[in-house]
Amino acid sequence: MSANHSISVRGLGKKYLLGLAVSRHDTLIEVIANRFRSLFGGMLSGSKPADKEIFWALSDASFDIEKGENVGIIGLNGAGKSTLLKILSRITSPTTGTARIDGRLGALLEVGTGFHPELTGRENVYLYGAILGMSHTEIDRKFDSIVDFAELQRFINTPVKRYSSGMYVRLAFSVAAHLDPDILLLDEVLAVGDLPFQRKCMEFAKNLQQRNATILFVSHNMNSIKTMCNRVIYLKQGRVEFDGPTDEGIGLYERDCQLVSQSAGEAGDAVPVSVTGLEMLDEHDREKSVFSFGERMKLRLAINSNIPISNPNFIIAFIRSDQVACCNFCSELDGVMLDRLEGDGVLELVTPPLKLVAHSYTIHILVRKPDFGDIIAMQIGGTFHVKDEIFDTHFGVFHEQGEWNWKPAETVAERTANTGNPG
């Protein structure tokens, strides 16, 4: 391992057996449960043990990360991102290969990892700090700074079972950050925090980098990846598909995000309708993937139908990266009737001004029979981002302007006296 490397990975792989016999996360309680199943499952169910299918969550991964690098780990769900970070943080061991770490490592892989719900925030700071390798004296010295960074002074003596997911993240990140790590592993957890806290974490990450610390950052939010990282490692089906400049890696990832088919019929059936191309454009037909709050989007879909279909209903849904279904557009409800679909064609949708809060969204496309009948085809399209300085997930899913009217109390009283109606 070179003296300039914080992390050196060679031929790293992680194999799981799918079915009843082996768990995915290797926790003690799961190991005990699986042992129970293996001993008594057959007797209890009267059935034979389930067949075991080998699944490589990570396969033959090799790379080096220099000290002081910020590296994004990107990929579709199930690509092996979290598995990689769990191996690097020694939560689980690899099946093949080696991973060498040089330096003090801090990891924040799941919301509230290391927290006990019945303990207060104060008690969990000491518990989690000890799990991360901090001494009691070190935690004493850093305690006030940890609480200030998390902005939880009022709630530090409250049991964390009453915390929101955002409060969990703020406290957990603050403890991990005050470990003063040489290497920090982050797995999507910042998506839970609000925008001001995300900015604070980004600034903290930049300060860590200035101190020559190394950061590995898993996220589906490509804006965050672009902000934090000059390099990305793109995992695809457990293998390193790309390792290099951020913009190039994100381009590959977002092209692979487009048009992932999901068959609506039996395995092996031909899908009667498919989207063969998708363009995301602004109102001036300029291709883009980042839209400002209030901007319209034009979606241009190239459609192929290998059989004639009468009156298909196209539904286009926007799904946030945390899997919240935010809105959808439906050709049938919008009064658009496509009498007959056959062969190749182009379907365009121009959205109203996007009022979704700043976040990352994936486009899902469904084709149904008329009157919301059977699903004919399902596909996952591209990923886009909405940006705004104010409207983040703190505002919910979307923000619309309301109508406000102020009435002085004496005016309301006079109107009530005269009409008997305060309105």
Residue 212 has pLDDT above 70, yes or no: yes
Residue 203 has, within 13 A of its CA and on its CB side, a CA count of: 7
Q: Which of 352-356, 395-399, 413-417 has the lowest mean pLDDT?
A: 413-417
Judge whether 352 lies within some domain: yes
The CATH number of the domain holding residue 351 is: 2.70.50.60
Q: Cα dist. 4→1, 88, 91, 214 in Å?
A: 8, 18, 25, 11
pLDDT tens string 311-363: 899 999 998 877 788 999 999 999 988 888 888 999 999 999 999 998 888 89
Judge whether 298 lies within some domain: yes
Judge whether 343 lies within some domain: yes
| pLDDT confidence tier of residue 273, bands split at 50, 70 and 90 | confident
- The pair of structure tokens assigned to 158 is 């409250």
The residues facing 217 across adjacent strands are: 72, 186
293 and 387 Cβ atoms separated by less than 8 Å: yes
Comparing C-alpha atoms, which of 70, 74, 356 is closest to residue 222? 74
265 and 271 Cβ atoms separated by less than 8 Å: yes
Judge whether 358 lies within some domain: yes
Judge whether 415 lies within some domain: no
The residues facing 283 across adjacent strands are: none
Tell whether 177 and 98 lie within a shared domain.
yes
Among residues 239, 255, 271, the one where a domain terminates is 255
User: Which one is predicted more confidently, 172 or 267?
Assistant: 172
Tell whether 234 and 263 lie within a shared domain.
no
Tell whether 157 and 115 lie within a shared domain.
yes
Tell whether 60 and 188 lie within a shared domain.
yes
* 370 contacts: CB under 8 Å, gap ≥ 6: 310, 311, 312, 313, 332
Tell whether 107 and 237 lie within a shared domain.
yes
pLDDT tens string 71-126: 999 987 778 998 999 899 888 899 999 999 998 887 777 655 678 889 999 999 99
pLDDT of residue 2: 72
Tell whether 221 and 296 lie within a shared domain.
no
Comparing C-alpha atoms, which of 76, 80, 106, 74 is closest to residue 12? 80
Tell whether 282 and 329 lie within a shared domain.
yes
| pLDDT confidence tier of residue 156, bands split at 50, 70 and 90 | very high
* 351 contacts: CB under 8 Å, gap ≥ 6: 296, 297, 298, 299, 329
Tell whether 239 and 118 lie within a shared domain.
yes
Judge whether 417 lies within some domain: no
Tell whether 193 and 226 lie within a shared domain.
yes
Integer distance in angstroms from the first to the last C-alpha of the chain? 76
Look up the domain containing 341 and give its range.
Answer: 258-395
pLDDT of residue 265: 42
Judge whether 332 lies within some domain: yes
Residue 32 has pLDDT above 60, yes or no: no
Among residues 206, 233, 255, the one where a domain terminates is 255
Tell whether 243 and 301 lie within a shared domain.
no
| pLDDT confidence tier of residue 266, bands split at 50, 70 and 90 | very low
Tell whether 325 and 187 lie within a shared domain.
no
Among residues 185, 220, 255, the one where a domain terminates is 255
Judge whether 41 lies within some domain: no
Tell whether 101 and 115 lie within a shared domain.
yes
Kindly state the average pLDDT of the residues 408-416. 74
Domain tally for the chain? Answer: 2
The CATH number of the domain holding residue 246 is: 3.40.50.300
Q: Which of 42-46, 47-51, 371-375 has the largest mean confidence?
A: 371-375
